[in-house]
């Protein structure tokens, strides 16, 4: 065992608490998390500037596909994430308005590159929630175009955008070709990952903090669709790389002091990728960092959120926090706004995705900087890093043995866009995805975690639920419908060791009676999760 891993385990044997924050919750003493309030303020800012159901950046940026991809598309994805966690009429209307706009302007906002995958992913997410076939057809067109792309056209971050659309398309319709191509893209990105865990942008081997953070968010989203074992291993690397670039105070370092007269640079143009632009200081990078650090329960999450709070202006954010380009730089028109719709929209999506990701995983215990620093760094110690993060109860069911290389992808691409799958089939797939996402990394006996329904099924009148813990933990117990929407929260907070009994009266969070049908009961703790089916009759 290495000295660094030994230090980690020693630190874990003590009582680990959350990192210090400026303010604490009066009742519990826990640091106050600004996430929910920030999402609310961003939502209010976007609605203040809304016209014809969407919020666009008022600047003339001369690139409609890029402007829409950085404004309306992430807004749609954010509202889809929020609606999955807490369905509401307001979120539904925001989804429909933005999906309608994207559908009406489809031909003028597509670039016919892999970057359109983000648009396809958003429209498929809208179809998943609304069942409206108008959103399926253009998204399926993007999927078909993505299947036709080859080589460099499917590399790195734009390739991962295409993979999101392909994986979502497979999840909803069961298309094996889309699944195989999505896995092929993941495999290609894994081969491009640098030895230090970072991911390049345009040039192989270049070191870029911003795009490593962005691709980390894409990979977290993809894992929820693919469960490909390559993804956790890649994220271990990106997490290690980003820990080396972001301090405990949340400040990002894009270069290291010179050694032997040579400085180390971590943005593309300074380390050999001359055709790339300066990626330092973009505010949306903080949103990507937040979801990555939160996913690994690293207290840098709180520091990064503190930086976002200081940059926020009534729910809006500037383009950059520093490193502004010169006025003659082609990127200047995109970098000078103090209240940027495009930057705010991307932050909105990343924080909404974080919020939904956290709901799936259950409550987290953040590690202070000293404990996090004891984690091994670099791909050379990836086995130790996997074991260490497993011990921390990270967001993935890690499986360090074996790497999935995927199957060969056929060259045949369908000539026509297939019709959307039936709504009932989509709901069933969403429910099965929710159920499978509750499978923990270890066996039940190892975690001392169990969940069971009491009495014969189907349940009528009330449903009795029993769960047990081997030690005190933070618990989330929720009822979901087959579409994966939250119905009723039965328990949130601390629970002691032993058995606990909860009764569901068949009502949702608003007090309305739930209709007859199949539901899922999901128990999530910091150490794992369990799920069970519940057939309910009114």
The token duo for 357 is 């990701």
DSSP calls for 255-320: EEEEETTEEEE-SGGGGT-TTS---TTBTHHHHHHHHHHHHTTBTHHHHHHHHHHHH-BTTBB-SB
Predicted local distance difference test score (pLDDT) of residue 31:
57
151 CA to centre of own chain: 26
Q: What percent of the chain is predicted at pLDDT more than 70?
A: 75
The answer to whether 421 touches 172, Cβ cutoff 8 Å, is yes
DSSP secondary structure letter of residue 329: S
- 3-state SS string for 96-107: HHHHHHHHHCHH
Nearest to residue 124, comparing CAs of 156, 170, 181? 170
Asked if 104 contacts 116 with a C-beta cutoff of 8 angstroms, the reply is no
- Report how far residue 454's alpha carbon sits from residue 468's, in angstroms, rounded to the nearest whole number: 13
Q: Within 10 A of 17 (CB to CB), how many other CB atoms are there?
A: 14
Residue-level pLDDT, tens digit, the chain, 538 residues: 343 333 333 333 322 222 223 344 444 444 578 998 999 999 999 999 888 889 999 988 888 888 999 999 999 999 999 988 877 778 888 999 999 999 999 999 998 999 999 999 999 999 998 888 899 999 999 999 999 888 877 788 889 999 999 999 999 988 889 999 999 999 989 988 988 889 988 888 888 999 999 999 999 999 988 878 888 888 988 998 999 899 989 999 998 877 655 558 888 888 777 778 888 999 999 999 999 998 888 889 999 999 999 999 999 999 999 888 888 888 888 998 999 999 999 999 999 999 988 876 665 566 555 545 555 444 333 444 444 444 444 444 333 333 333 344 445 555 565 667 665 556 555 555 544 444 333 333 335 788 888 766 678 888 899 999 988 888 889 898 766 677 899 998 889 999 999 999 999 988 889 888 778 888 888 777 787 878 787 7
Q: CA 411 to CA 18: how far, in whole Å?
A: 51
Q: CB-based burial of residue 262 (10 Å sphere; 0-12 exposed, 13-18 middle, 19+ buried)? A: exposed
Q: DSSP letter for 468, please.
A: E
Q: Is 23 exposed, middle or buried (0-12, 13-18, 19+ CB in 10 A)?
A: exposed
Any alpha helices (H) in 312-381, and if so which ranges?
Answer: 341-361, 369-373
Q: What is the pLDDT at residue 397? A: 37
User: How many Cα atoms sit within 13 Å of 522 on the Cβ side?
Assistant: 31
CATH of 35-391 among 1.20.120.330, 1.20.1630.10, 1.50.10.20, 3.40.50.2000: 1.50.10.20
The model's pLDDT over 78-94, given as tens digits with 9 standing for 90+, comes to 999 998 887 777 888 89
Output the CA–CA distances (angstroms, integers) from residue 51 to 58, 60, 97, 496, in the order listed: 11, 16, 10, 51
Residue in 385, 9, 390 with CA at minimum distance from that of residue 196: 385
CA distance 55 to 403: 43
Fold observed for domain 440-537: Immunoglobulin-like (2.60.40)
What number of H helices and E strands is found in the chain? 19, 10
Where does CATH 2.60.40.2550 sit in the chain?
A: 440-537
Q: For 157-199, give the secondary structure using H, E and C.
A: HHHHHHHHHHHHHHHHHCCHHHHHHHHHHHHHHHHHCCCCCCC
What pLDDT, on the 0 to 100 scale, is given for residue 379?
36
Distance CA 218, CA 239 (A): 13
Q: What is the pLDDT of residue 182?
A: 93
Could you report how far apart the first and last alpha carbons of the chain are, in Å? 57
Number of Cβ within a 10 Å radius of residue 460 = 13
Q: How far apart are CA 83 and CA 129, in angstroms?
A: 8
Separation CA 468–CA 475 (nearest Å): 11
Return the pLDDT at 350: 97
Structure tokens at 294: 């939160």
- Among residues 474, 452, 475, 449, the alpha carbon closest in space to that of 463 is found at 452
Q: For the chain, what percent of residues have pLDDT higher than 90?
A: 37
225-255 pLDDT tens trace? 887 888 888 898 899 899 989 998 999 999 8
| Concatenated DSSP letters of 227-265 | --THHHHHHHHHHHHHHHHB-TTS-B-SEEEEETTEEEE
Provide the 8-state DSSP code for 23.
Answer: -
- Name the segment(s) of the chain with CATH classification 1.50.10.20: 35-391
């Amino acid at each position: 065992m290495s000295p660094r891993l030994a230090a980690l385990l020693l630190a874990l044997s003590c009582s680990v608490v959350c990192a210090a924050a400026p303010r604490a919750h009066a009742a519990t003493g826990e640091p106050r998390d600004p996430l929910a309030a920030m999402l609310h303020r961003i939502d209010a800012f976007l609605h203040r500037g809304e016209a014809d159901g969407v919020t666009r950046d008022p600047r003339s940026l001369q690139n409609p596909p890029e402007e829409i991809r950085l404004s309306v598309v992430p807004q749609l994805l954010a509202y889809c994430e929020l609606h999955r966690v807490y369905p509401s009429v307001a979120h539904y209307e925001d989804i429909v308005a933005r999906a309608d706009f994207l559908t009406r302007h489809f031909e003028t906002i597509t670039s016919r590159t892999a970057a359109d995958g983000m648009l396809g992913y958003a429209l498929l997410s809208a179809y998943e929630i609304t069942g409206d076939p108008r959103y399926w057809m253009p998204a399926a067109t993007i999927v078909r175009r993505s299947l036709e792309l080859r080589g460099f056209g499917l590399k790195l971050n734009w390739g991962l955008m295409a993979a999101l659309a392909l994986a979502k398309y497979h999840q909803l319709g069961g298309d094996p070709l889309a699944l195989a191509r999505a896995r092929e893209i993941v495999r290609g990105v894994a081969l491009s990952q640098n030895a230090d865990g970072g991911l390049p942008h345009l040039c192989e081997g270049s070191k870029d903090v911003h795009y490593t953070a962005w691709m980390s968010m894409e990979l977290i989203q993809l894992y929820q669709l693919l469960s490909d074992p390559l993804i956790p291993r890649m994220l271990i690397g990106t997490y290690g790389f980003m820990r080396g670039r972001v301090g405990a105070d949340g400040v990002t370092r894009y270069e290291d002091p010179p050694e032997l007269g040579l400085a180390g640079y971590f943005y593309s143009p300074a380390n050999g990728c001359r055709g790339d632009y300066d990626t330092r200081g973009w505010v949306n990078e903080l949103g990507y960092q937040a979801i990555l650090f939160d996913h690994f329960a690293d207290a840098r999450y709180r520091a990064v959120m503190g930086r976002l709070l200081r940059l926020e202006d009534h729910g809006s954010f500037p383009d950059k926090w520093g490193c502004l380009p010169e006025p003659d730089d082609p990127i200047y028109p995109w970098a000078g706004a103090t209240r940027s719709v495009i930057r705010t929209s991307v932050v909105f999506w990343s924080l909404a995705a974080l919020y939904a990701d956290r709901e799936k995983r259950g409550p987290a215990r953040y590690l202070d900087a000293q404990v996090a620093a004891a984690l091994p760094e670099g791909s050379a110690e990836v086995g130790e890093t996997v074991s260490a993060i497993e011990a921390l109860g990270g967001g993935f069911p890690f499986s360090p043995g074996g790497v999935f290389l995927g199957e060969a992808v056929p060259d045949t691409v369908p000539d026509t866009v297939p019709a959307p799958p039936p709504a009932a089939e989509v709901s069933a797939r969403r429910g099965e995805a929710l159920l499978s996402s509750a499978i923990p990394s270890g066996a039940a006996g190892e975690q001392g975690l169990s969940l069971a329904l009491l009495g014969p099924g189907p349940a009528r009148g009330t449903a009795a639920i029993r769960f047990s813990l081997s030690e005190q933990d933070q618990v989330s117990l929720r009822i979901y419908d087959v579409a994966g929407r939250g119905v009723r929260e039965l328990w949130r907070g601390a629970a002691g060791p032993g058995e606990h009994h909860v009764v569901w009266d068949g009502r949702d969070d608003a007090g309305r009676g739930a209709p007859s049908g199949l539901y899922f009961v999901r128990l999530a703790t910091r150490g794992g999760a369990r799920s069970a089916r519940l057939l309910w009759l009114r």
